Structure 1
């Protein structure tokens, strides 16, 4: 249930704050975790904590990952802090991820920049058709928000319906919600490979297993 999850998130955030108070250095992953927890709590207080942590990190010259920034943007949008969301988003170095794509749509919706939004969606649907070019993916949930926003503007809703169809045909629509996209953790192939490589070494002789077996 949410009450249990909220208690868990709150407890985890308290631990992270205590770490910060003890001057424990945060890694990039620690910031991702902290911002994700703040995003999940989605309260004025968690927004304030997220903002403070982010500003302190930037003052120290630390580089925040795109993923951490996405959680900060999403939280700002959920708290109706549009200017803050736009500011954070503008500082993301490479906003080409599926999370960034959909957050950008939400920013346009909240900014009432509907014509620019339709243009952005059009470019995504009618852009380079090469299979070698990574295409933007849109959440069905986010596109539903677009349609709700443009439904009272006949010219825009007709254009949106046309674009929506093209996006579906080209496989650029996912059923994952924005929350699921933000929280998705890809499997780390590199760490998996390293683990396999480590297991190929004999613990007793510290030689490759094939050499150890031959020696025995």
Structure 2
């Protein structure tokens, strides 16, 4: 597309970054960064999904500073994937206070059952536990928080990869066939028959 001068759309960036993330090589990381920088130079706003793939790829390539930089530019980091990526960024940076704070706020927040709660991947929580295992006070606190999150249904069995690659269904396209009339209101016959008769 780039060689043929085809303009990239938001979906194209998501697809390109997702491919680079799945390839997970130094070369794909370089391609992802180049595409991202070119988009920012052109003044294009990258979607949260595209940025999440770029952050995850940077983390997989142990480029934590780059992952932090990309994450800081996400406009609305309130998605499940963003929350989990934020925790992984801090774990890989050896900053344990922030993940513990995020988890504590999620577990102890006095939130109504009608308000959307943060969900955490079991895989990400296992990484947190692995990181805090050498600090007895943090292990105890983490186990308590983990129990509360589990009871409130905020622990997902999906891996971080599954959360990133989840594609929500588009409701608009599923509603179109329902609005289409198939029976004539006047003759109560199928439309195809009544049109032929008239």
Q: Same fold (TM over 0.5)?
A: yes
Superposition CA RMSD, Å: 1.6
Structure 1 stretches of 4+ moved >2 Å: 194-197, 208-216
Describe how 1:139-158 pairs up with structure 2 within 5 A. 139-158=121-140
Q: Distance in 1 between matches of 2:184 and 2:106?
A: 51
Unaligned runs of 5+ in 1: 1-18, 202-207
Query: Which structure has the bigger radius of gyration?
Result: 2
Q: Distance in 2 between matches of 1:39 and 1:196?
A: 38
Describe how 1:61-210 pairs up with structure 2 within 5 A. 61-194=43-176, 196-197=178-179, 200=180, 210=184
| Per-residue deviation, 1:209 | 6.3
Q: Which residue matches 1:12? A: none
Q: Which residue matches 2:11? A: 29
TM-score by length of 1: 0.83
- Secondary structure, counterpart of 1:54 in structure 2: helix
Q: Distance in 2 between matches of 1:191 and 1:26?
A: 23
Over residues 45-86 of structure 1, what are the superposed CA-to-partner deviations in whole Å (9 max), with x where a residue is unaligned? 000000000111111111111101100000000001111101
Instruction: Tell me the matched-pair count.
Output: 190
- Is residue 33 of structure 2 the alignment partner of residue 51 of structure 1? yes
- Secondary structure, counterpart of 1:20 in structure 2: coil
| Per-residue deviation, 1:196 | 4.4
TM-score by length of 2: 0.91
Q: Distance in 2 between matches of 1:106 and 1:69?
A: 15
Q: Distance in 1 between matches of 2:169 and 2:119?
A: 19
- Secondary structure, counterpart of 1:130 in structure 2: coil
User: Is the 1:115–1:156 contact (alpha carbons within 8 Å) kept by the matching residues of 2?
Assistant: no
Unaligned runs of 5+ in 2: none
